[in-house]
Structure 1
Amino acid sequence: MTGMLARRLPRFVARLVRENRGATAIEFALVAPVVFILMLGTVELALDMIVDGSVQIAAQAASRAGLTTTDPSTGTRADAAKRTVMNILGGWQNIGGTVNITTLNYGTYGNVGGSTYQANMGGFGDVVSYNITVTVPGFSGIPQLFGVKTLTFQRNYIVQNEK
């Protein structure tokens, strides 16, 4: 009996080594998580680029709304700039994001970046900085894998009010 087992065992092992059934399933199990993470990362990056582009457009629109020193027919220039920004970025608040809008009147270009400013839209010829910040959670969960809980997008536009 042991002689027969000794003869069959090498043949069984050789046949087992040549067997390739199930190799595709194993390869799929090894590669699928990487492919799915790459796909989700691509979607995350695309959505982040959309948010970034929206912040860019909102900052440009806010600076145009405040650029003229003539108040609109309803409300103030600050209200018009805020409405414009919220029309563009308000949807990001629905997913748990926050939108922050600040305007700083530096008076002249020489004061930009310094501590000499007023928090208003300024008058004729004043140099005003429009700062838009949007903070959103990650969309796909990929940033959370790397310890990033929220994503922050910011744009600053510095313009001189029309004279």
Structure 2
Amino acid sequence: MIRPIATYLGRLRRDRRGATLLEFGLISPVLILSIMGIGDLAYQSYLRSVTRGVLEKAARSASVGTLNSTQLDAYIEAQMSAINSKNGTTSTTKKSYYNFSRVGKPEKITTDTAPLGSYNTGDCYEDANGNGSYDATSGSTGLGGADDIVYYEVTVSMPRMFPMAKLLGWSATQSATATTMVRNQPWANQSTPTIRCS
């Protein structure tokens, strides 16, 4: 005896087996992508924290004269070697300034001629980095001298932990940057910038 098709369709409509598998198939891609994204952001936060800790310890040592510029770079590279072993790179920037108010600013104009507010012929300025010319960024490369302010920046770049970066439009590498400013100890008299006129 042949059963009508309506009986089979009614049985199929009431059957709930496999519904969980279908729901998991719909939710799992979003869930897995979210977990990988959270893991990637957490790892970037970890990188930033480690980089900041290494930088601050190195900056304190350099401020009391324990490390010179080359030793500071070597110390940072040695401390970051475990992270860099995973195809990472570390770059360090050091600039010294006469005082905190000059960090990231142009050299101070002491005698300003028209047009006012910008450096032009006839102006006098404090040659903070001692190179004999006016600079829009006044810092000197390196650790500076006694009582100088040193701005440190360390950037770590490495491939992302998960390959999902392209799906979210992120770059294939991630980087973490740590910065700090430390005043060197006054082990000698701080040299005053020379006033130069053009």
For the superposition of Structure 1 and Structure 2, which TM-score range results when normalised by the shorter chain?
Answer: 0.7 to 0.9
1:115-163, CA deviations, whole angstroms, 9 ceiling, x for partnerless residues? Answer: 1111011111111111111112211123332222222211111111001
Unmatched tracts of structure 1, length 5 or more: none
Cα distance in 2, alignment partners of residues 63 and 144 from structure 1: 36
**Is the 1:62–1:130 Cα contact (8 Å) retained in structure 2?**
no
Match status 1:22 vs 2:34: no
Runs of 4+ in structure 1 off by over 6 angstroms are: none
Cα distance in 2, alignment partners of residues 66 and 144 from structure 1: 40
Match status 1:9 vs 2:32: no
Q: Amino acid of the residue matched to residue 129 of structure 1?
A: Y
Percent same amino acid among aligned pairs?
25
**Is the 1:65–1:80 Cα contact (8 Å) retained in structure 2?**
no
Question: What is the 5 A alignment of 1:25-44?
Answer: 25-44=21-40
**Is the 2:44–2:175 Cα contact (8 Å) retained in structure 1?**
no
Helix, strand or coil at the partner of 2:176: strand
Cα distance in 1, alignment partners of residues 68 and 163 from structure 2: 39
Unmatched tracts of structure 2, length 5 or more: 106-136, 187-198
How far did 1:26 drift? 1.4
Cα distance in 2, alignment partners of residues 54 and 113 from structure 1: 25
The correspondence for 1:108, drawn from 77, 99, 119, is 99
- Structure ranking higher in helix proportion: 1
Cα distance in 2, alignment partners of residues 45 and 32 from structure 1: 20
The correspondence for 2:140, drawn from 118, 124, 144, is 118
Q: Amino acid of the residue matched to residue 33 of structure 1?
A: P
Cα distance in 2, alignment partners of residues 52 and 101 from structure 1: 14
TM-score, normalization by structure 1: 0.84
Greater Cα shift, 14-23 or 26-35: 26-35
1:26-82, CA deviations, whole angstroms, 9 ceiling, x for partnerless residues? Answer: 12222222222233223223322211111111220221121013xx5xxx6112211
Helix, strand or coil at the partner of 2:17: coil
TM-score, normalization by structure 2: 0.70
Higher relative contact order at CA 8 Å, sep ≥6: structure 1 or structure 2?
2
**Is the 2:59–2:152 Cα contact (8 Å) retained in structure 1?**
yes
Q: Aligned residue for 1:77?
A: 68
Match status 1:67 vs 2:63: yes
Cα distance in 2, alignment partners of residues 95 and 11 from structure 1: 62
Helix, strand or coil at the partner of 1:130: strand
The correspondence for 2:53, drawn from 36, 52, 57, is 57
Cα distance in 1, alignment partners of residues 68 and 77 from structure 2: 14
Q: Aligned residue for 1:162?
A: 185
